[in-house]
């Protein structure tokens, strides 16, 4: 104690000779042994040694030394545990259950720490996978062996579930998959590769790529010089759960054989062929293909077979959409948006189809949130069928190809013709690709002097018809005639347009009406109130007339929407309806020659 006090209170500073010691070796921290790492090495050595001889000594798999070793491996390294488990499965006798070994070596039950959650285990499994964010569609994807899965989709869930069960021999719970999807989505958006992910068709470096949708994820590359199955991996495709494989194309088929299975006649065949080719070009606006006709004209079978050569699905023909959201949700997982047996389309649904065909988005409140939006941004080819003409909105009419199907005179068994079509699909698809090649070769040399609306489609169709040997200008003329007929049909489908036409027909004066929209609504509603689609208010009537104004102008009826004015019977927004000078004879001539333009091709159409 005295010596300690002397040291503490001494004026001298204690020192040592460590600086003069030269024989002390430096410590290399890189050579330091991590106890856990050594435990893992020892455990792996024991485990693999037992596994190597377990077929002749199965009881060794349940010895304390082996159980302790595997428990340690599971607690320290999920990667090594996965390898060990596979090795046990491959070498154990058939009478030994892997689930018993799983239970005995559970780290939690053996007091060696807390088990990682299933979500953590899955994320570790997927650590090396590539993540993608398609900013155009605002969707995220993950790639495994050149196969792309949209994160959160049904194929993604099935892939994760299979992968987990294969490695660990047990099912994974739903909450873990959701947690994985949330985590991967965040990583993909902030750290993933920014790249466009396509659905069925893609334009890339002067070539068109078509995704086969088969188990091998093959692609067809089409250029002006030919087509072939291509292994291009820079063009990424995603396969939704409902997507089916296209037939393997075979060269040497004849495109005219297609009409053996589609009830399309006359010049309408050129319009349908052009629409089918255009459906493979992802960068251009798409016209809407509308098939209509009476019962017995093979609308549904024609519709389905067209789709089977472009974008076959588990459900080729979908029921009429209930609302706008149904249309966009269907477009989220299908390249072709396809609806059958439509009796009526609301103005909002027609606007949605118009937006869908030319490219646009739909936003809705995200489920279970108050302020977040889910945005669906897509552009898709659209095909519908109906008995009456259901497209009445002029914006959509400008983008529609109306095809009137004729009733069949000869019927055949559906089973028989389906079997023949199934056998012919590969050659028909090959013939379609052959025609596409010729069209792409001709396309750079085609110029339209006065291009119509949907000019990209008109130019492609003109290139196609010239490649087939038709005179220049043939397709442009046919397309313009079809559009004119579509306008007329749209008027017939609109009760408001028909009422205005009848009003003009019965009026001897050139001024058919001049007053407020409310007065017009009261004057012409009468019997019309019971008609499906008739507006329920003056405002609805005004909106419907605005939609039909271009069509009414085309038959000599002028519509002028004015400002608020005062009239004898009240004050309100004015509207003036009058006959155009020199066009009185055209009023009422709505659908000239529609029934006689196309011949009946039942004798040559085997449906």
Cα(464)–Cα(469) distance, integer angstroms: 9
Order the strands of the 557-567 sheet from edge to edge: 511-516, 570-579, 557-567
Is a pLDDT exceeding 70 seen at residue 10? no
Higher-scoring residue by pLDDT: 228, 549: 228
Is a pLDDT exceeding 50 seen at residue 316? yes
Per-residue pLDDT, 3: 52
**The pair of three-digit structure tokens given for residue 466, joined into one six-digit string:** 């010239």
Higher-scoring residue by pLDDT: 443, 32: 443
User: Which of 94, 4, 96, 84 lies closest to 44, judged by CA?
Assistant: 84
Cα(607)–Cα(598) distance, integer angstroms: 18
Residue length of the chain? 607
DSSP class per residue in 478-544: HHHHHHHHHHHHHHHH-HHHHHHHHHHHT-SSSEEEEEEHHHHHHHH-GGGGGSTT--SSHHHHHHH
Per-residue pLDDT, 569: 67
**The pair of three-digit structure tokens given for residue 195, joined into one six-digit string:** 């790249």
Is a pLDDT exceeding 80 seen at residue 592? no
Most confident of 69-83, 306-320, 510-524: 306-320
Mean pLDDT over all residues of the chain? 83
Order the strands of the 139-144 sheet from edge to edge: 147-150, 139-144, 130-134, 193-194
DSSP collapsed to 3 states, 255-314: HHHHHHCCCCCCCHHHHHHHHHHHCCCCCCCCCEEEEECCCCCCHHHHHHHHHHCCCCEC
Q: How confident is the model at residue 231 (pLDDT cuts 50, 70, 90)?
A: confident
Per-residue pLDDT, 435: 97
Per-residue pLDDT, 367: 45
Residue 174 vs residues 155, 178, 322: alpha-carbon distances, Å: 14, 6, 30
Higher-scoring residue by pLDDT: 13, 255: 255
Most confident of 181-190, 329-338, 385-394: 181-190
Cα(338)–Cα(315) distance, integer angstroms: 9
Longest dimension (CA), the chain: 134
**Which H or E run includes 355?**
helix 347-358
- On whether the pTM is more than 0.85, the answer is no
> pLDDT tens for residues 439-474?
999 999 999 888 888 899 999 999 999 999 999 999
Per-residue pLDDT, 492: 73
> pLDDT tens for residues 120-134?
888 888 888 999 999
- What integer is the mean pLDDT of 26-47? 74
Residue 562 has φ and ψ, to the nearest 5°, of: -105, -165
**The pair of three-digit structure tokens given for residue 251, joined into one six-digit string:** 């060269």
Is a pLDDT exceeding 50 seen at residue 491? yes
Neighbouring C-beta atoms of residue 110, cutoff 10 Å: 16
Domain 494-586 of CATH type 1.10.10:
yes
**The pair of three-digit structure tokens given for residue 503, joined into one six-digit string:** 């009003």
> pLDDT tens for residues 406-445?
888 887 888 899 999 999 999 999 999 999 999 999 999 9
Q: Tell me if 521 sits within 8 A of 529, measured CB to CB.
A: no
Q: Tell me if 424 sits within 8 A of 261, measured CB to CB.
A: yes
Which residue has tokens 């109906």? 386
Per-residue pLDDT, 604: 31
**Helical residues (DSSP H) of 447-493, grouped into ranges:** 455-467, 474-493
Name residues whose C-beta falls within 8 Å of residue 92's C-beta, 6 or more positions apart in sequence: 51, 54, 55, 58, 61, 98, 101
Most confident of 37-41, 208-212, 407-411, 599-603: 208-212
Is a pLDDT exceeding 80 seen at residue 606? no
Per-residue pLDDT, 157: 93
Q: Tell me if 236 sits within 8 A of 195, measured CB to CB.
A: yes
> pLDDT tens for residues 352-392?
888 888 887 666 555 444 445 556 678 899 999 998 888 87
> pLDDT tens for residues 244-290?
999 999 998 999 999 999 999 999 999 999 999 999 999 899 999 99
Is a pLDDT exceeding 80 seen at residue 19? no
CATH class of the region 258-483: alpha beta
Q: Tell me if 433 sits within 8 A of 323, measured CB to CB.
A: no
Is a pLDDT exceeding 60 seen at residue 147? yes
Per-residue pLDDT, 590: 45
């Amino acid at each position: 104690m005295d010596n300690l006090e002397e040291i503490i209170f001494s004026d001298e500073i204690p020192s040592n000779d460590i600086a003069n010691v030269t024989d002390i070796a430096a410590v290399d921290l890189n050579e330091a042994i991590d106890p856990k790492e050594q435990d893992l090495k020892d455990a792996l050595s024991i485990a693999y040694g037992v596994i190597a001889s377990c077929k002749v000594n199965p009881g060794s798999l349940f010895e304390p030394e082996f159980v302790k070793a595997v428990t340690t491996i599971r607690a320290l390294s999920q990667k090594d545990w996965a390898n060990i488990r596979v090795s046990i499965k491959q070498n154990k006798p058939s009478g030994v259950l892997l689930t018993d070994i799983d239970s005995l070596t559970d780290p939690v039950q053996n007091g060696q720490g807390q088990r990682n959650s299933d979500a953590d285990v899955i994320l570790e499994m997927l650590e090396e996978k590539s993540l993608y964010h398609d900013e155009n569609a605002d969707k995220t994807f993950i790639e495994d062996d050149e196969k792309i899965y949209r994160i959160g989709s049904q194929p993604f869930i099935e892939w994760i579930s299979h992968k987990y069960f294969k490695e660990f021999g047990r099912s994974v719970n739903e909450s873990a998959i959701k947690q994985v999807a949330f985590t991967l989505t965040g990583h993909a958006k902030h750290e993933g590769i920014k790249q466009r992910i396509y659905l069925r068709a893609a334009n890339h470096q002067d070539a068109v790529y078509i995704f086969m949708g088969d188990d091998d994820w093959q692609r067809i590359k089409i250029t002006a010089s030919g087509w072939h199955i291509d292994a291009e991996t820079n063009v990424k495709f995603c396969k939704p759960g409902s997507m089916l494989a296209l037939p393997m194309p075979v060269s040497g088929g004849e495109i005219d054989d297609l009409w053996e299975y589609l009830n399309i006649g006359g010049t309408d065949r050129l319009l349908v062929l052009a629409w089918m080719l255009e459906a493979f070009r992802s960068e251009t606006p798409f016209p809407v293909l509308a098939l209509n006709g009476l019962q017995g004209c093979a609308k549904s079978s024609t519709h389905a077979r067209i789709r089977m050569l472009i974008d076959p699905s588990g459900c080729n023909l979908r029921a009429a959409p209930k609302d706008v959201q149904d249309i966009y949700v269907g477009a989220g997982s299908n390249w072709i948006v396809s609806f059958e047996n439509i009796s009526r389309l609301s103005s909002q649904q027609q606007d949605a189809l118009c937006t869908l065909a030319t490219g646009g988005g739909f936003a809705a409140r995200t489920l279970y949130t108050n302020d977040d939006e889910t945005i669906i941004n897509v552009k898709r080819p659209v095909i519908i069928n109906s008995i009456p003409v259901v497209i009445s909105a002029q914006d959509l009419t400008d983008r529609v190809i109306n095809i009137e199907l004729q009733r069949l005179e000869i019927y055949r068994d559906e089973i028989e013709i389906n079997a023949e079509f199934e056998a012919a699909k590969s050659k028909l698809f090959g013939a379609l690709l052959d025609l596409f090649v010729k069209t792409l070769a001709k396309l750079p040399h085609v110029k339209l002097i006065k291009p119509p609306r949907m000019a990209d489609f008109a130019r492609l169709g003109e290139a196609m018809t010239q490649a087939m040997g038709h005179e220049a200008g043939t397709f442009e003329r046919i397309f313009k005639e079809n559009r004119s007929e579509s306008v007329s049909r749209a008027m017939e489908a609109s009760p408001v347009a028909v009422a205005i036409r009848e009003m003009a027909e019965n009026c001897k004066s050139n001024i058919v009406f001049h007053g407020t929209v409310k007065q017009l609504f009261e004057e012409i509603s009468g019997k019309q109130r019971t008609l499906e689609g008739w507006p329920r208010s003056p405002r609805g009537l005004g909106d419907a007339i605005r939609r039909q104004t271009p069509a009414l102008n085309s038959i000599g009826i002028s519509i002028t929407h004015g400002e608020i004015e005062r009239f004898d019977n009240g004050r309100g927004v004015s509207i003036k309806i009058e006959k155009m000078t020199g066009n009185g004879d055209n009023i009422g001539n709505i659908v000239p020659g529609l029934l006689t333009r196309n011949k009946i091709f039942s004798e040559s159409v085997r449906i």
